Chains A and B, each alone.
Chain A
Amino acid sequence: MAPEYNMMEMMICVASRYLEDGKTVAVGTGAPCAAAMLSQKTQSPNLIILFEAGGISPLLPQMPISVGDSRTFFRAVMAAGMTEMMTTCSRGLVDYAFLGGAQIDKYGNINSTVVGDYYKPKVRFPGSGGANDFASLCWRTMIMTVHSKSRFVEKCEFLTSPGFLTGAGAREAAGLPEGGPYKIVTDLAVMGFDEETKAMRVESLHPGVDLGKVKAETGFELVIPKQISSTAPPTETELKILREEVDPLKLVIGRA
């Protein structure tokens, strides 16, 4: 019998599989950190975890609550700083970064700054933090988010962190180095980006989810390829490690 799991566990397991062994990944708190930790404990033991505040390759004892708390440099190889981390990204040494936000558009741009008028916003969010830096400077950015029409919008009200901006050629024209969004992992599906147009495309549907549901929860037209695969559900091993070693206090997986 297939194991039972919740949607947060599904997202974390799926995201963890994209992180290749021996690569570097910049993570935040919460689900991205869980995905990176899980990947280390399953397929990618030599994955190098980095935190923007300065923690380099810690042996994470548990989930951090801040990207600058003590856990982020527990038995790390180095306790560095913001400039060290971001210049490492700028030099091309950081392969993956995880981002989050209030809105994401069809070119993978993210809004984490404001909704409404900038000078008198309806909602003020934190802003870029290090997200714009990561989205500009890392090779592949990844997003884990709940799939809903209010989040997946035609155009972000404020473009905080760059995806492919306005589509093919736009990053290059703006002066950004090669890079951009790679995979978007939601509770319904995995999305990638069309090689030609750089628009978001559906790549695989999670078990029990049909394409209609994904379309209904997306506020723009997705690229639909001829073949859409089915996301492999979490394995028993993945779930066991996630629940017992990565997040035993259910700080993240308990949120589903």
Chain B
Amino acid sequence: MKVLDQGVNPIFMDPDPDKAREFFRKKPRAMVDKRMTEKEVVEKFIPDGCYLAIGGFGANRISTAVIHEILRARRKNLGFLGHTSTHDFQLLAAGKCLDRVDAAYVVGLEARGLSPNARRYMESGEVQVTEWTNYSLAARLKAAAEGVSFALVRSMLGTDTFKMSGAKVVECPFTGKKFAAVPALWPDVAVIHVHEADMYGNAVFRGISVADLELSRAAKHLIITAERLVNNFTIRNNPTATSIPFYLVDAVVEVPYGSYPGNMPYLYFSDEEHLAQWMKVEKDPKEFEKFLEHYIYGVSCFEEYLERCGGLKKMKELQKLETLVEK
């Protein structure tokens, strides 16, 4: 296959499928109790410098609890899969946890605007960036999930997004047409929030999958946070519903309201007031420091954060706002 052009920025993770196979060869398959706390999973699976991915879509079905714990553990120099990231990226930027990012969508919170602090962080130059698109990153995960070293897409061609990526333009051996080849991406660790899981890691999420089917298969280590734990019989009673089988999963953490202040489809809507507060307070770095102390560093666990945000009363209000609950 002829290479016609290539992006100039680094590929942060090795796209060699045999190295990935060697890793997965040794990955334990036993169906054992994998329940842990947020603290334990960060300690065990998210060391300084590792490459992290968060499931869901920015402020929808994200694992806020584990991200908060990453901040409290003062993790540094993480790599990050910045596709469709919004509040998750905002949090990691607040903790200055990153040193390299594969960026397709960062620093923004969609219709809510741009995060002033995440912008300052990315404008400082201290985080190394390689540019991609949402689909090219999903395709990189898809290639990894398939156990091959690259995927072909027709995105990015002819643009600066391509120039600042790590992709290559290749010529199709059959048609002579040009495609962008994007390297497989096996993140060190992914954290995916779901509706239900059993203690072994069999996981069920409902609604859109975003890129989580690909991500769960690509990640070397996979942490599942679940709104509630169910027994194994519940899973076996309806295997059609299973999104992620247990042998992909390293740890299971039960976290009710675990996507808060994000949206969890069918359960609760996003807390737009709290997210607006983030955007407002970020404008003043001093105020923002106090804000982070109050909500993240000054609490011992996610439940305490939920309490500071209004507790069960607030969660019930957000349940009422959720569109997918029939009223």
- A interface residues with partner B (beta carbon < 8 Å): 28-30, 52-55, 61-62, 64-74, 79-83, 86, 90, 109, 113, 118-133, 136-137, 158-162, 165, 170-171, 173-177, 251
Contact = CB atoms under 8 A, between A and B. Distances in A.
A82 B108 contact: no
Interface stretch (B12-20, B157-165, B234-242): B157-165
Binding site of A, secondary structure by majority: helix, strand, loop or mixed? Answer: loop
Interface in B251-270: 263, 265-266, 269-270
A40 B35 CA distance: 48
Nearest to A85: B135
Interface stretch (B56-64, B70-78, B195-203, B293-301): B56-64
B84 interface: yes
Given A53-B84, A129-B134, A176-B157, A79 B207 contact: yes
Contact of A29 (B110, B270, B324): B110
A74 B324 contact: yes
Contact of A68 (B60, B169, B323): B60
Interface in B11-64: 56-60
A253 B136 CA distance: 33
Contacts of A175: 154, 157-158, 169, 177-179
B133 A128 contact: yes
Contacts of A127: 82, 103-106, 131, 161
Contacts of A119: 125
A118 B8 CA distance: 12
A123 B118 CA distance: 11
Interface residues on B, range: 35 or more
Nearest to A136: B155
Given A65-B272, A80-B209, A175-B177, A124 B154 contact: no
Interface in B142-191: 142, 153-161, 164, 169, 177-179
Nearest to B134: A130
B280 interface: no
A68 B119 CA distance: 22
A139 B119 CA distance: 33
A159 to B, nearest CB: 4
B129 to A, nearest CB: 8
Interface in B116-139: 119, 122-125, 131-136, 138-139
Nearest to A170: B158
A130 B110 CA distance: 12
A175 B155 CA distance: 10
Given A29-B111, A54-B210, 18 more contacts: A53-B84, A55-B208, A66-B270, A69-B269, A71-B323, A73-B265, A81-B212, A86-B138, A90-B153, A113-B164, A120-B124, A127-B82, A128-B134, A129-B84, A161-B159, A171-B158, A175-B169, A251-B111
